[in-house]
Amino acid sequence: MEQAVAAADPDVDLVRAMAAGNQNALAELYERHADLMLGLALRIVRNRREAEDLLHDVFLEAWRAAKDFDPNRGRVRTWLAIRMRSRALDLQKSARVSRNAGDSGLDRLEDQEARTSPDHGKVRAALGGLPADQRQAIELAYFEGLSCSEISERISVPIGTVKSRLAAAMSKLRTTLGYGKEAA
């Protein structure tokens, strides 16, 4: 199924062109996904300047790593998002971003310039369809990069319960997002 998804991904040709040194291809890939990646970065680091620096760095990294992109392993925008999330979490965990630094970033996130993507509604609805405790666990894991034990500490719930909530949530999300049947 993933191969079918990859084959239908129009970004794959852009990344191939980037690997061949086509600078316009990177410009186009940036135009297509920069605002989605910035939304993700802002959600994690909550500071517009830091988030925009990450945006530059992630697309530069994509330019340099274009040769290594394997379309059989998923979509281009997922490839970008994995890099962005990882860099943003590293930055968020370092001392460079103060906890209070980012209110401006959050404001920007909520104002009118923020737009939605075709998948935004689908994923948002899938997350919204989870029981509140499962959604909270998923958000702490994905957007804050916390491990099971850290989540357990953060919300004062036994680690076994955290694991069950995450597993149940992922199982439902997998089904809702069309990646497989629940409880095979």
Partner 1 sequence: MIDLEELLPLYALGVLAPEEATAVERALAQEPRLVSKLAQYQATAGELFSAELRVAPSLDVKARLMSSIGAGRFERFAARFAKVFDVTLDGARELLAWIDNPGKWEPMNALSKVIHFPAGPACAGADTGFVSIAPGGTFPYHRHGGDEVTLVLAGSAVDSTGKVLREGDQIEELPGTQHDLTNTGQEDFLYASRVYGLDYITKPE
**Binding residues for partner 1, per CB under 8 A?**
2, 5, 23, 26-27, 30-31, 34-36, 38-40, 42-43, 49, 52-53, 55-56, 59-60, 63, 74-75, 78, 81-82, 84-85, 108-109, 113-117, 119-120, 122-124, 127, 138, 141-142, 145-149, 151, 163-164, 166-167, 170-171, 173-174, 177, 179-180, 184
Which residues contact residue 179 at a Cβ distance below 8 angstroms, ignoring those fewer than 6 apart? 1
Query: Would you say 133 or 145 has its CB closer to partner 1?
Result: 145
Is 72 or 100 the residue whose CB approaches partner 1 more closely?
Answer: 72
CB nearer to partner 1: give 95 or 113.
113
Residues present in the chain in total:
184
> How far is Cα 184 from Cα 181, in angstroms, rounded to an integer?
6
Under DSSP, the state recorded for 73 is G
Q: How far is the CB of 92 from partner 1 (least distance, A)?
A: 15
Element (H, E) at 128: helix 118-128
Query: Minimum Å distance from CB 7 to partner 1?
Result: 15
Residue nearer to partner 1 on the CB measure, 13 or 167 = 167
Query: In angstroms, what CA-CA distances link 106 with 14, 39, 42, 111, 126?
Result: 31, 10, 7, 9, 23
Minimum CB–partner distance for residue 161 and partner 1 (Å): 13
Among 117, 138, 111, 115, residue whose Cα is nearest residue 126:
138
